[in-house]
């Protein structure tokens, strides 16, 4: 089995005394950190240009000058320039308020006096590293939200890496007339994504028309797509425009395209290639300018091999193919989506101000969401109705009521996913009290913190 081992956070320690570097190496190793030592500012800059670090601990005085701190201040300036954002912790045996203030002014995150206290060193490091991670996450979320949350009322949230990559690709494609085929499981939000492709395109001021082919009776396919004239069939009492005609100049979304009958596929292919069609029962050819986005949860390649779907039609539809990830692959999106749908349901049922407890959030993140975003929306609507107060607890979610068959089994998970699931279940069981979680799992609190970091489980999901 392929096991991916997350590297330990690496600290750069700059001090001209080997004994100091060795002592810090032992301390950092005991706390789960790796360390690279440098005996001069020049050596430190060399390491910074060839390796990434979680933080730097910098002595303020070296052999050339043992009292003023000027060498250390110069090194801080260089680190700030060469490695912006890297937390720098200044350290000297010649501590003074003025030097500490100047070091902080130049960009140091904190200041430690020699001889140090081990607990103080580790606390400062953890605080600086966590602050940097939080800032990076905030910047990432801000950028992602600026990219994807154009319409806050739509519920279109793309914070996870998988969704951001998808959005970036679709934004680039949206400006063309290229056909797009969205692949993905039921409930992943393909229709919402198609509507945003339309919004990002030059056709945004024209109609966005969608049709669920999987929900149509076979006898109505042709009429719905191309329209009909009066008398074309029983009950055709007047002329009616089809979806292609209504979408002229805009975008037509064909959902569940894999359900299109084989006898209608040549007609769709012709329209995609030429823009021409005839209403059912009519002889006059009409022409439209429509951009088509199609979607399916079927394996169209297998359908082609089985003779149920035309190969040339598939090629016409899949100029650009985009896979919409299931919710279980979008972990960072779960809680923002849950909060959106909870707020939406709260407004609908006059339950404004509802929020999720930390334990409920942990349970939402641990669940595998076989029904994807659609299931999450239904769960939050139910929770809005069941919650007694202003907070939604795990019991209000009822994720496992009648859904035991959907719960993931350990033997179906990778080692990494199984560990993440067990961590979140333990955190939920103990309502976020990490000391009890660590005791149940038989690991130290420091090890628990490292594992939470590895799986992206935030500290604000727990009550320490």
**pLDDT the model gives residue 66:** 58
User: CA-to-CA distance for 101 and 109, rounded, in angstroms?
Assistant: 11
154 located within any domain: no
**Structure tokens of 67?**
């009292």
228 located within any domain: yes
Of the residues 302, 325, 348, the one at which a domain ends: 325
Same domain, residue pair 48 and 131: yes
**pLDDT the model gives residue 102:** 83
**pLDDT the model gives residue 92:** 75
Q: How confident is the model at residue 6 (pLDDT cuts 50, 70, 90)?
A: low
Same domain, residue pair 91 and 166: no
Give the tens place of pLDDT for each residue, 252-261. Answer: 999 999 988 8
- Check: CB of residue 250 under 8 Å from CB of residue 201: no
Give the tens place of pLDDT for each residue, 202-230. Answer: 999 999 999 988 777 777 888 889 998 98
54 located within any domain: yes
**pLDDT the model gives residue 131:** 82
Say if residue 195's pLDDT is above 90: yes
Give the tens place of pLDDT for each residue, 384-443. Answer: 999 888 899 999 998 876 443 444 555 556 677 777 778 877 776 666 667 677 777 778
Say if residue 20's pLDDT is above 80: yes
Give the tens place of pLDDT for each residue, 122-170. Answer: 988 988 888 887 777 665 555 444 444 444 456 688 888 899 899 999 9
**pLDDT the model gives residue 268:** 94
Same domain, residue pair 434 and 356: no
**pLDDT the model gives residue 24:** 93
**pLDDT the model gives residue 147:** 43
**pLDDT the model gives residue 403:** 44
**Structure tokens of 320?**
């650009």
Most confident of 83-87, 104-108, 112-116, 303-307: 303-307
**At 364, which CATH number?**
1.10.8.60
151 located within any domain: no
Same domain, residue pair 367 and 420: no
Domain that holds residue 349: 327-407
User: CA-to-CA distance for 461 and 464, rounded, in angstroms?
Assistant: 10
Same domain, residue pair 217 and 270: yes
Query: Which of 220, 201, 222 minimizes the C-alpha distance to 289?
Result: 201
How many domains does one find in the chain?
4
- Check: CB of residue 132 under 8 Å from CB of residue 89: no
**pLDDT the model gives residue 2:** 45
126: which residues sit within 8 A by CB, 6+ positions away?
none
**At 455, which CATH number?**
1.10.10
Mean pLDDT of 362-376: 90
**pLDDT the model gives residue 5:** 53
Give the tens place of pLDDT for each residue, 56-83. Answer: 999 887 765 556 778 888 889 888 887 8
Task: Give 144 or 98, the one with higher predicted confidence.
Answer: 98
**Structure tokens of 227?**
């329209």
Of the candidate ranges 280-284, 286-290, 384-388, 446-450, the one whose mean pLDDT is the lowest: 446-450
Same domain, residue pair 339 and 320: no
**pLDDT the model gives residue 313:** 95
**pLDDT the model gives residue 329:** 92
Same domain, residue pair 195 and 249: yes
Say if residue 106's pLDDT is above 70: yes
382 located within any domain: yes
- Check: CB of residue 96 under 8 Å from CB of residue 50: no
150 located within any domain: no
> How many percent of the chain have pLDDT more than 70?
86
Mean pLDDT of 274-285: 92
**Structure tokens of 213?**
């082919």
User: CA-to-CA distance for 140 and 117, rounded, in angstroms?
Assistant: 35
Same domain, residue pair 181 and 310: yes
**pLDDT the model gives residue 157:** 85
Mean pLDDT of 343-356: 89
147 located within any domain: no
Same domain, residue pair 321 and 332: no
Same domain, residue pair 447 and 298: no
Pairing of strands 320-323, 291-296: unpaired
Say if residue 464's pLDDT is above 90: no
Site of tokens 């949860």? 297
**At 316, which CATH number?**
3.40.50.300
Same domain, residue pair 316 and 341: no
Most confident of 95-104, 159-168, 267-276: 267-276
Of the residues 303, 325, 347, the one at which a domain ends: 325
Mean pLDDT of 224-251: 89
Pairing of strands 240-241, 227-228: antiparallel
- Check: CB of residue 317 under 8 Å from CB of residue 272: yes
CA 265 to chain centre: 36
218: which residues sit within 8 A by CB, 6+ positions away?
261
**At 74, which CATH number?**
3.40.50.2300
Mean pLDDT, the chain, integer? 84
User: CA-to-CA distance for 353 and 324, rounded, in angstroms?
Assistant: 31
Say if residue 275's pLDDT is above 90: yes
Say if residue 378's pLDDT is above 60: yes
126 located within any domain: yes
Of the residues 273, 296, 325, the one at which a domain ends: 325
- Check: CB of residue 193 under 8 Å from CB of residue 304: no
User: CA-to-CA distance for 49 and 78, rounded, in angstroms?
Assistant: 11
Same domain, residue pair 311 and 343: no
């Amino acid at each position: 089995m392929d096991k991916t081992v997350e590297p330990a956070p690496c600290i750069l320690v700059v001090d001209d005394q080997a004994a100091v570097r060795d002592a810090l190496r032992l301390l950092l190793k005991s706390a789960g950190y790796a360390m690279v030592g440098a005996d001069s500012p020049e050596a430190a800059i060399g390491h910074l240009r060839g390796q990434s670090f979680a933080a730097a601990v910098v002595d303020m005085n070296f052999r050339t000058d043992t009292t003023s701190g000027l060498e250390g201040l110069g090194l801080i300036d260089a680190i700030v320039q060469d490695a912006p954002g890297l937390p720098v912790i200044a350290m000297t045996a010649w501590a003074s308020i003025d030097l500490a203030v100047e070091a902080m002014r130049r960009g140091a995150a904190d200041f430690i006096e020699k001889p140090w206290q081990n607990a103080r060193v580790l606390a400062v490091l953890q605080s600086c590293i966590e602050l940097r991670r939080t800032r990076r996450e905030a910047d990432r979320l801000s950028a992602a939200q600026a990219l994807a949350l154009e319409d806050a009322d739509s519920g279109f949230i793309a914070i996870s890496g998988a969704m951001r990559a998808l959005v970036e690709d679709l934004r680039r494609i949206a400006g063309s007339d290229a056909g797009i085929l969205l692949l993905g499981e039921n409930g992943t939000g393909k229709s919402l994504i198609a509507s945003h492709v339309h919004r990002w395109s030059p056709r945004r001021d024209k109609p966005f028309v969608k049709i669920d082919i999987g929900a149509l009776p076979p006898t109505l396919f042709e009429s719905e797509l191309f329209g009909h004239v009066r008398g074309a069939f029983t009950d055709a009492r007047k002329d009616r425009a089809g979806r292609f005609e209504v979408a002229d100049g805009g975008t037509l979304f064909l959902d569940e395209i894999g359900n299109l009958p084989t006898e209608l596929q040549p007609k769709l292919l012709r329209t995609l290639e030429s823009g021409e069609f005839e209403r059912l029962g009519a002889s006059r050819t009409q022409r439209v300018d429509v951009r088509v986005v199609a979607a399916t949860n079927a394996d169209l390649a297998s359908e082609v091999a089985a003779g149920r779907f035309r190969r040339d039609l598939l090629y016409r539809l899949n100029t650009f193919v985009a896979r919409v990830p299931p919710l279980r692959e979008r972990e960072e999106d779960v809680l923002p989506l849950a909060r959106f749908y909870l707020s939406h349901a709260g407004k609908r049922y006059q339950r404004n101000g509802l929020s999720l407890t930390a334990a409920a959030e942990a349970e939402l993140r641990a669940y595998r969401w076989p029904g994807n975003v659609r299931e999450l929306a239904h769960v939050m609507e139910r929770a809005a109705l069941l919650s007694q107060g202003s907070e939604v607890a795990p019991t209000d979610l009822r994720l496992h009521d009648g859904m035991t068959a959907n719960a993931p089994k350990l033997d179906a998970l990778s080692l990494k996913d199984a560990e993440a699931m067990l961590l979140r279940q333990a955190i939920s069981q103990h309502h976020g009290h990490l000391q009890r979680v660590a005791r149940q799992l038989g690991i130290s609190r420091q090890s628990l913190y490292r594992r939470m970091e590895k799986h992206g489980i935030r500290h604000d999901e727990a009550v320490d």
